[in-house]
Chains A and B, each alone.
Chain A
Amino acid sequence: MNRTRPVALLVTHGVLGEELVRTVAAILGPQSDVATVSNSGLSADALTTAIEGRLAESSPDAPVVLFTDLAAGSCGIASRRVGGEGRDLRRITGVNLPMLLEFFHYRDTLSLDELLPRMEAKGKAGIVIL
């Protein structure tokens, strides 16, 4: 498929995002085009600036999926304040491992319009009372 690979940007509390990326690498192998931002020690404004800084590091042609952990937390709120600046920017919250695995499996083969609903479904389906 002739299009730019979507970038994953995980914006989370503490080291959650880094560890999720490390765990994805342990399961699928190392991944490129992925970045993380932690809220540790950052004010709301500083966190928004940090996300914008990370976005600026990736090619302006590249679509970005912004993953956050809590919708009603600093990360979720800051991610909604960030503008796409013309780029294709998608946001999804409640990040978990099943959602991420789905993203990394299919980001080169499915459009984000197809992939985002699948990621939401996989993330939810991964929560099961055993």
Chain B
Amino acid sequence: MPLLLARIDDRLIHGQVAHGWGSALHPTLLAIVSDSLRVDPDRANLYLFAVPEGARGRVVSVAEALDPAFRDEVEAERTILLFAAPDDALRLLEGGFPLRELNLGGLHHAPGRREVLPYVYLDEIDRERLRAVQRRGVRVYAQDLPSNASHAIDTWVGEAT
């Protein structure tokens, strides 16, 4: 089974992911790719608590996610991959992990970030990283829920080339 969804969302596993996307996609594996959460099991468990029925959750580092065994696991399951920020997704791509699309589902307000959608705020570093993701041939689109509109991000981040 190909990857169901790869999503950048600073809330990681929460209502929109567990219920909104979960009820549309019926995932069996929710995998968070995050070096910082991988070494902070207490904080990781807060997110794993929210994994919906019928699925299991796990947290892997970028290096672990690049292990071929992890890719096999992703393909053996109905998988949603989650990143807290563009950085983790970009590093996974740079390591050779194949992503065709990347959903921008939630990057909320922080100092220096400007609103482009109610659930997407970007600063120049985010923009540069998203451009770099697109340069690798990945289609990046903003969409909070499966039933809501999808937006191309080109006008916010500039051309990829």
Which A residues form the contact surface with B (CB < 8 A)? 26-30, 101, 105
Contacts and interface: CB of A to CB of B under 8 A. Distances in A.
Of the four ranges (under 10, 10 to 19, 20 to 34, 35 or more), the interface on chain B belongs to under 10
A27 B148 contact: no
Nearest to A128: B49
Contacts, number: 22
Interface string B95-128: 0000000000000000000000000000000000
Across the A-B interface, give the 8 residue pairs with the lowest CB-CB distance, nearest first: A29-B147, A27-B15, A29-B145, A105-B23, A27-B19, A28-B20, A101-B19, A27-B20
A26 B23 CA distance: 14
Contacts of B147: 28-30
Main secondary structure of the interface of A (DSSP, over half): helix
A28 B15 CA distance: 8
A2 B147 CA distance: 22
A30 B20 CA distance: 11
A62 B85 CA distance: 45
Nearest to A102: B19
Contacts of B148: 29
A105 B20 CA distance: 9
Contact of B16 (A27, A30, A105): A27
A101 B15 CA distance: 10
B15 A29 contact: no
Nearest to A97: B15
Contacts of A30: 147
A106 B116 CA distance: 33
Residue in A26, A30, A105 whose Cβ sees the most chain B Cβ within 10 Å = A26
A39 to B, nearest CB: 27
B138 to A, nearest CB: 25
B146 interface: yes
A94 B78 CA distance: 34
